Amino acid sequence: MRSVFLSNGSIKQLDIPKPVASKAETLVKVTMAGICNTDLELVKGYMGFEGVPGHEFVGVVAEAQDSNLVGRRVCGEINFGCGDCDECLKGLQRHCPSRTVLGILNQNGAFADFVTIPETKLRFVPDSVTDRQAVFVEPVAAAMEILEQVHVEPNQQVAVVGDGKLGLLICQVLKLTGCELCLIGKHARKLEMAENWGVRALHKDLAGQQQFDLVVEASGSPSGFETALALLRPRGTLVLKSTYAGNLEFDAAPIVINEITLVGSRCGPFKPAIRTLSENRIDTEALIDGVFPFSEALPAFERAAQPGTLKIVLDLNV
């Protein structure tokens, strides 16, 4: 089958053997997959991953022990736990010490014609959600995880630092809470997009001395972390959504002095994300900057890595 394969810090298009699903797994024919910042960080060395990346996808079940699943349109949760440890038994497979993570950690991902997904990790995509929307299920779920971890009230002053793909999705999710929301970024096009959604938008150079109760850092840059920390009121909450290939160095003194609550935030629940997309409460179409045929996956990665680019999608139907 066709694949995008990452090895020794570089990606190439490579024909590899079609995977064989175990009894607990299904074989899914991938139809569309999205390139995200984590994929770009993997190329830089994040997690030391080698293999097939890709975790934002939609496809059709091609093979399954349960014949009723064949032909169903699906996406899939990305954390595969052992099922037996304390974390798994608490429903937190994403924190299983021996977990694999689709396209990120010891598990080939969705930048290929076929991918194997445990049956328990399949999530059905309703007809009301298009393939172009469905590739956003995983990042929308990641954005919604913030609301699972932090209670956001309508009277709170909230800022999102970073106007990339995830930052813009987070803005749309947080806006649903009715909070007083501000996006802080550096790209005029993206800031204007947020304003069209009713979100106050500021260039990072104009953020000044404003302070917020809650700040979400989604810039993916160490300077974004510094900006986010500086924007917090004493006893505020800083939510980290960024992944960094390198080390993040910072002065911890303000966190202690200002009694800042620091929250790491990663993956989120798929079912609420699918429901929110089916209700058209999230504008994903505005976030797509290009759809590339899978034969042009390498140029697609180059385009995705260009500064200011939003979502690039791979179409595996062509």
As a whole number, mean pLDDT of residues 57-76 equals: 97
Percent of the chain with pLDDT over 90: 83
Within 8 A by CB and 6+ apart from 237, the residues are 150, 213, 214, 215, 260, 261, 262, 263
The partner residues of 264 in beta bridges, in order of sequence, read 240
**Which of 163, 171, 165, 159 minimizes the C-alpha distance to 197?**
171
Tell me what the pLDDT averaged over the chain comes to.
94
In this predicted model, what pLDDT tens digit does every residue of 74-102 receive, in sequence order?
A: 999 999 999 999 999 998 888 999 999 99
Look-up of token digits 């809650």 = 214
pLDDT at residue 115, rounded to an integer = 98
> Where are the CATH 3.90.180.10 domain residues in the chain?
2-136+284-315
CATH no. for 140-264: 3.40.50.720
The pTM assigned to this predicted structure is 0.92
CATH topology of domain 2-136+284-315: Quinone Oxidoreductase; Chain A, domain 1 (3.90.180)
The partner residues of 262 in beta bridges, in order of sequence, read 238
In whole angstroms, give the CA distance from residue 272 to residue 286.
21
pLDDT > 80? residue 249: no
> Where are the CATH 3.40.50.720 domain residues in the chain?
140-264
